[in-house]
Structure 1
């Protein structure tokens, strides 16, 4: 994970350098300054800093992966890589119920929002518990 840490660290340094420059170029605190862009760059810099610290902390605690070693071979990375879930229809239904809820809010149709909420709870339960029954049960 050291390579990923360095990528995010370089991005953080870039954003730390660009944010004050952007603020100065767009008006430096004047009434017409672009505070939206400056705020977005500041928050993006803080986000990349958070990811950098997280990856750096975990990179020190775990043993290096084959791609992190200078003398690593392709065969060192062979074997099981982890669990990859199969297809699922539940995210589609969860997204559809969220769409119904947002549409209900936009049209001030509270009855539609409530129906979407109930169906959304069912879709969320189906998504959470899909590996406990059926073809892919553990």
Structure 2
């Protein structure tokens, strides 16, 4: 059996809104929206990887809040784990630095206004339920 590699995703919440990031690469994912994040490096705690990835991808100083129940398969051997996260006081505003060309903050009523990557939909649905958003 192949060892799984964990990919962490951030349900970054601020003022009752969720941050969505539009992929710019690779080509087969470009134009679709996701929860920002990335691969956990060997010996790294998933929570630490998420904070690092948010710094690298969005230029923010964030902290994890709680793990979203569940895990979702990506391309072999990857699996997605999601945490809710928040910006630390004094953090700069998020901006797309790597892998993304646009960001948007979505209120619960607008959560499904963007075409999410399929693997992110269950996590977005779970987070949306906590935000009071309608199910999809």
- TM-score, structure 1 normalization: 0.20
Higher relative contact order (CA 8 A, sep 6+): 2
**Quick check: which one's strand share is greater?**
2
**Quick check: which one's helix share is greater?**
1
Larger radius of gyration: 1
- TM-score, structure 2 normalization: 0.20
